Amino acid sequence: MTKTSISEYMVDNPVAVRPDMNVYEAAHEILANQVSGAMVTDENGKLVGMLSELDCLQAMVTSVYNGADPGGALVSDIMTANVEVNSPEDEILAVATSMLDHKHRRRPVVKDGELQGQLTCRQILKAVTEFAEENHASDLKS
């Protein structure tokens, strides 16, 4: 399992939003795709940040309290711009450990500055579960 690269389990086409979208539009994309967050990419597909559903919720609730349009803020105003990234060749357990250490639910996968995919807790759980099942099956054959 330690030799398993994240490219084997990553989501190839993660939900992405643009930095110039308003929060309402971005929240709609998150809800429509039933994900907990999205990658933020520029017009060339380069990763510029990440946006979580919590980011959207906080911005919308804050706006309501301040009497402003709840979807009026831009994604670029509320996204996390400095994000850790990994390459498709990185080992899944090392990335999982880093994600746990930083309490991250997703990690962008980037090659040559371009977004290739994302690795989420769900994909890591799938990898570990498949590994455990394979080992359990081989133990039963012994």
The DSSP annotation for 75-103 comes to HHHHSB-S---B-TTSBHHHHHHHHHHHT
Mean pLDDT over each residue of the chain, to the nearest integer: 91
Both structure tokens of 140:
């039963």
pLDDT at 69: 76
CB 78 within 8 A of CB 49: no
In this structure, the strands spanning 114-120 and 47-52 are: unpaired
Q: What CATH number has the domain spanning 6-141?
A: 3.10.580.10
Helix (H) or strand (E) holding 109: strand 106-111
pLDDT at 136: 73
pTM for the model stands at 0.85
pLDDT at 68: 78
Give the mean model confidence (pLDDT) for residues 98-108. 94
